[in-house]
Every structure is written in structure tokens, then in C-alpha cells.
Chains A and B, each alone.
Chain A
């Protein structure tokens, strides 16, 4: 059986950790290969000895981490090395990078060490390719996934949208400041905004909410599904979002998702409702539309369960890199039902 080691340097609760839980636990992923999750110290991925046929990096690329990646390449010179890019995207670069030339050099140097670079969304892949950050032929798109069973089991909301949820770390990235400003412009006293999470921006967000009785701060929760079940719709006003797992969960729970049109949130086929532009007025009119609309007006998804995209992506990649040892054939993957 093919042995894959997935290296991770950030074990905080978040999208990457939950994706790796899926990889490690999903029975169909187990058909493809034996997956082992290996936490490694930041910038020293070779500090933990790894026995594997393929090594997958879920690490965050940085100048400081580059020597570690070179050592990793040297240590595994005989095995395919894959990098999954969870962090960087066009939206990230727009919002954070002050020296764009230096940033592109870093990514080119780092990606050149890998046999394949996996983008988590079509939009991110388009960016990596257009900016010539990844060599042609080395780029693959595999959208991440989490265990969606609990979300699918959730009762679909009915009636008009009254309770809007926003889930995530209270960080500039998530754009909850914009959401609160827009929400406060809605006159309807029966609407609720539930901000689910915690983080460095909490004080700023509370000040913006200004004790509007319709806005609730629920605090951090280890069980996002329970919180999601209390919401009729989800808002994701993110300033950047390479993929956006919350959107996937909300769609599995049949909640409409109002989102900014950045990065992976703009990918077609996800059934999301991108807001025209990042302005307050656009968000206000989108919220007015959402709270006045029936749930039946949701945009359609491509109809396939999210797991299938992830499984098919890994199957295709592994078949290229280790044609003789890869597990399930495409037919086996395709018969999987939601």
C-alpha cells in the first residue's frame, strides 16, 4: 500500500487541521493510500524522521522556512514531494504583500523544490499559473474537504432568512468589520447576526456592533456545526480566502452563503452568492436581498458531493506520481454517493 506522509506545522484548530482529519479518517481516502499526519516544528520539517513513498507538505512557505524545505527535498530526493498551498492567493497578496517582487521570488524558489504543487481552488490555480509561480505541468487543483455528514444531517432552514451567521477567527482576513457595518444599516429589528469565533479583532468588532441588540458574539466554539444549525444563512466577507471550508459546510447544510468574490469564493459551481464589490453599499443591498428572499432562490451547485472532487483530485495526482501503487481506480471513486 502506498504510504503518504502529510507534514503540518500549524496544528491550531482551523481549516488545514480539519482537512487533514478528513484525509486521515475518510474510508475512501484510505483506499487510495495509507495516510499519516506528521506534525513538524515550524521551519524544520526534517526534524521528524519520515518513512513514506510520497511526502506532502501542508507547510506555510516563508523565507525562514526555505532552508528547511531544501533539506526536505534532499532527504527525500527519491520520492515525489507535493506541496499543498493553503495560505497564499491573489487576495492574500493584495492585502498583505508590500514587496511583491520578493514575494514572487520566494514562492518560485519554494515551489521549484516540489514535484507537484496543489492549488485548493481554480481561482488560486489561475493566479499561480498566470504569475508564472509554478512550472507548467506541475500544477494540480484539489479542493479540500471535511467530514460533511453532520452538516448534511442538519435540518434545512425554512421561511425567510432571520439569523445570519459568520464563522471564523476574528482577524482582518475575515472582514467581519465590513459585515457588522452593513448589517447595522438594516432596519429590521427581527434580524440577528451571530459572530461565531474569537480573535485579535474582537474589541474592534464589539465597538462596531455598539451594543446593537441584534448582534451576538457567541465566543469560540469547538462545534461549529451546532452554531451553524442556529443560522439561516452564512456570510463570508473575507478579504482573502484561498478556498473557504466554511462555505462548503454551509452549503452541505443547505444554508445560502453570501460571500466576497475573492479567490476560491469566486469559483463557479460552489453554489455561493458573491457580493458585487467589497463596498458597504453592495453588502447592504445583498443582505436586503437575502433577508427578503426565499431559500429556493439559491444558486445551484455542480451537484456532486464535495468529497468526490477531493477524492478524484488525489486519485488523479497519485496515479501520475505512483502509477503502480495507487489504490482505488476512478470507477471506485465515482460510485461513492453522498
Chain B
């Protein structure tokens, strides 16, 4: 039995899967398996996974169930005591698995170990940007507001921690759920926040940018409304678990969520959406302004530039500062 399993949900990722798997096979940690979950791909995804011919790679195939459903099938198939996730277009640094396993083994109260991420572009080049979240002393309130775990390729979990949040909804005959498959977005934050609120497993980070997280340039704002709706659905779902907690922290968390979506809308050049999100952010809570004034004010300034000078000015500003593409999912 391998000590660790890395789950790679894969849906039509023939273009990037090979690079992802090569990075995983290069891990310095010796005792692990890779579970590739082909989530009903219509391209060569499965063939690429098979083509490696490496006994450490196992392929699970299923009709499309979405990202949460693919991760769940991967957890179900995984045999390791430690379970990590790497989306099929992201890359792990060679020591990532070894570092997280060492962290979890040394700290028996930690259920989820994560690290920061370097953002790369479609060609795999560094964008100069990174997610450098808070690593220690993380409370459920931190998860709710800022999601320090960051992205779906950052965490490695202890199997026991996953088992503590396993459930089987009515109508599911085949296996448990860990991620809630009714969410097509916000499935990560729903899972981490549920772990934080309903178990005493701690979430803790380790230093280093151990994930190389790919972000699409351009970016679409069409999904902003839907993404916000799924975030609110997540809040509504988890409220009964801890009503006082949600009541206390939802305004600030909502403000951060609006700010994040405003940044996405700005990247996409969607003027009305950007202004609406900025207004909603400041209406929800002053906390982003007080806690992260630089980022909040620069978002506001970018929104105003977009409103007065149009998207070209934003592109030019972005070109001056750094290449700043829109993240795919909440950061």
C-alpha cells in the first residue's frame, strides 16, 4: 500500500496532463501512487495517462460528474494515508509531497497541510505573481474570509481528516462524498470550511511556493454572477453548522468575495460588473479596506480607471505593473 496518493481530476486536459504527471512522477517522496480520474473526457486524456506505462499511475474512468465528483472518485480509489490533489493543468515542485507528508507526520493535530503557489501562464512561464497566504494560526474565520488554502492543487490531507467529513447523500449508492458534488463552483472552500467548522482537524501551511498554479489569461466575466451565487449557496448550506460563526463573519467574508469578483470583472473589462462588485464590497463590510488597504484601494482605483478610461487603459496599466491574469477560481 502506498503511503500517499495524489489525485488528478482530469477532464479534457490532453494538452496539459502529460506535464502535470511528469512533475508528479519527479516527486522526491518515494512511496506514493497517482490516481488520475478521467471525468468523462472526449479527448486523449485517458490515453495520455495510460501511455506513461508507469505502475505508480492508476486510471479511474467515469461519466462526467464535475470536479468535485472526480476528486471524490479519486479519494474513493486512493489507498494512501495522505491524500493530495493536483489539477491536471497545475504542477507540483519536486519536494512538495515529501514536505507535506513530513509536516503531517510531525503534527498529529493537523488534518490539512498546504503551501503557497507560484502563478504560471498558459505556456508554463512564471507570471511574477504568487499566492503567499497566512500559514499558521489559521482559524475558521481565516478560511471563510481569505481561503488561505488558495487553490485545489495546494493541499495534502490526512485520510482521517477526510473521513471525518465524509457523507453519503440520499440517492448516492456507490460511494461517499467528501466534496459536495452539488457545487460546480466554490466546492473547495465549502469543503475546507466544513472541515474547519465540523471537525477539530487543523489547517496549517508550510513555507515555500510548492505548487505552480496555472491561470488563464484574458478571463471571462460571464461566470461572475454564477460564482457569487454558488458562494452564497455555500454560506447558506454551512450556516446551520455554526449559525453564530456565520452571522459574525459573513459580512467581512462577503466583502472579500465581492472584491475578488470585482478584480475578475476588471481583468475581463466588464465595467458594470466591476463597479457593482466594488459597491457591494464596500457596502458589505469595511474590513477589506482596514485589513488590506493597499489591495483594496488598488482594486478600487483599477475599477475607476476602467469606468472612466475603458478596458484598454487597464490593459496598459497591467502591462506596466506585471502581467496580471485573472485567476480561474477564488484565491
- Chain A CB count within 10 A is highest, among B165, B169, B202, B238, for B169
CB neighbours (8 Å) of B199 from chain A are: 90-91, 94
**Known pairs A94-B197, A94-B200; A100 contacts B240 (CB<8 A):** no
B52 within 8 A of A: no
Determine whether the beta carbon of B108 is less than 8 Å from that of A177.
Answer: no
B198 within 8 A of A: yes
> Whole-angstrom distance between the alpha carbons of A177 and B202 in the complex?
27
Determine whether the beta carbon of B170 is less than 8 Å from that of A278.
Answer: no
In the complex, what's the smallest C-beta–C-beta distance from A283 to chain B, in angstroms?
8
B276 within 8 A of A: no
CB neighbours (8 Å) of B237 from chain A are: 279-281
B window 191-220: CB within 8 A of A: 194, 197-200, 202
A window 80-114: CB within 8 A of B: 90-91, 93-95, 97-98, 100, 104
Determine whether the beta carbon of A278 is less than 8 Å from that of B243.
Answer: no
Known pairs A277-B165, A278-B241. 13 more at Cβ < 8 A?
Answer: A91-B198, A94-B197, A100-B109, A100-B200, A104-B109, A132-B108, A172-B244, A175-B240, A177-B243, A239-B241, A276-B167, A282-B169, A286-B170
Identity of the chain B residue whose Cβ is nearest the Cβ of A94 in the assembled complex: B200
> Whole-angstrom distance between the alpha carbons of A94 and B200 in the complex?
4
> Whole-angstrom distance between the alpha carbons of A93 and B164 in the complex?
13
Determine whether the beta carbon of B168 is less than 8 Å from that of A177.
Answer: no
- Nearest first, the 3 closest Cβ-Cβ pairs linking A and B are A93-B200, A277-B167, A276-B167
List residues of B whose CB falls within 8 A of some A CB: 108-109, 139, 160, 164-165, 167-170, 180, 194, 197-200, 202, 237-238, 240-244
CB neighbours (8 Å) of B241 from chain A are: 239, 278-279
- Chain B CB count within 10 A is highest, among A95, A178, A285, for A95
Identity of the chain B residue whose Cβ is nearest the Cβ of A98 in the assembled complex: B139
Q: Which of B168, B169, B197, B240 contacts A280 (CB 8 A)?
A: B240
In the complex, what's the smallest C-beta–C-beta distance from A239 to chain B, in angstroms?
8
A window 154-198: CB within 8 A of B: 172, 175, 177-178, 181
Determine whether the beta carbon of A94 is less than 8 Å from that of B198.
Answer: yes
In the complex, what's the smallest C-beta–C-beta distance from A292 to chain B, in angstroms?
12
Identity of the chain B residue whose Cβ is nearest the Cβ of A179 in the assembled complex: B240
Determine whether the beta carbon of A100 is less than 8 Å from that of B202.
Answer: yes
In the complex, what's the smallest C-beta–C-beta distance from B237 to chain A, in angstroms?
5
Determine whether the beta carbon of A97 is less than 8 Å from that of B167.
Answer: no
In the complex, what's the smallest C-beta–C-beta distance from B113 to chain A, in angstroms?
15
Instruction: Give me 7 A-to-B residue pairs in the complex whose CB atoms sit less than 8 angstroms apart, sorted by A's number.
Output: A90-B199, A91-B199, A100-B202, A239-B242, A261-B167, A276-B170, A286-B170
A131 within 8 A of B: yes
> Whole-angstrom distance between the alpha carbons of A90 and B200 in the complex?
6
Determine whether the beta carbon of B240 is less than 8 Å from that of A131.
Answer: no
CB neighbours (8 Å) of B108 from chain A are: 130-132
In the complex, what's the smallest C-beta–C-beta distance from A101 to chain B, in angstroms?
8
CB neighbours (8 Å) of A289 from chain B are: 170
Determine whether the beta carbon of A278 is less than 8 Å from that of B168.
Answer: no
- Chain B CB count within 10 A is highest, among A93, A181, A278, for A278
CB neighbours (8 Å) of A281 from chain B are: 237
> Whole-angstrom distance between the alpha carbons of A95 and B200 in the complex?
8
In the complex, what's the smallest C-beta–C-beta distance from B120 to chain A, in angstroms?
35
Determine whether the beta carbon of B164 is less than 8 Å from that of A90.
Answer: yes
In the complex, what's the smallest C-beta–C-beta distance from A96 to chain B, in angstroms?
9
In the complex, what's the smallest C-beta–C-beta distance from B243 to chain A, in angstroms?
7
In the complex, what's the smallest C-beta–C-beta distance from B245 to chain A, in angstroms?
9
- Chain B CB count within 10 A is highest, among A94, A132, A276, for A94
Determine whether the beta carbon of A282 is less than 8 Å from that of B167.
Answer: yes
**Known pairs A98-B139, A130-B108, A277-B167; A178 contacts B198 (CB<8 A):** no
> Whole-angstrom distance between the alpha carbons of A167 and B180 in the complex?
30
> Whole-angstrom distance between the alpha carbons of A169 and B164 in the complex?
26
CB neighbours (8 Å) of B197 from chain A are: 94
> Whole-angstrom distance between the alpha carbons of A179 and B139 in the complex?
27
In the complex, what's the smallest C-beta–C-beta distance from B293 to chain A, in angstroms?
27
CB neighbours (8 Å) of A178 from chain B are: 240
> Whole-angstrom distance between the alpha carbons of A91 and B165 in the complex?
12
> Whole-angstrom distance between the alpha carbons of A15 and B18 in the complex?
58
In the complex, what's the smallest C-beta–C-beta distance from B178 to chain A, in angstroms?
10
Identity of the chain B residue whose Cβ is nearest the Cβ of A182 in the assembled complex: B240
Q: Which of A95, A97, A131, A276 contacts B242 (CB 8 A)?
A: A95
CB neighbours (8 Å) of A131 from chain B are: 108-109
Determine whether the beta carbon of B200 is less than 8 Å from that of A276.
Answer: no
> Whole-angstrom distance between the alpha carbons of A285 and B200 in the complex?
27
> Whole-angstrom distance between the alpha carbons of A256 and B244 in the complex?
30
Identity of the chain B residue whose Cβ is nearest the Cβ of A104 in the assembled complex: B109
> Whole-angstrom distance between the alpha carbons of A97 and B140 in the complex?
11
Identity of the chain B residue whose Cβ is nearest the Cβ of A282 in the assembled complex: B169
**Known pairs A276-B169, A278-B198; A181 contacts B240 (CB<8 A):** yes
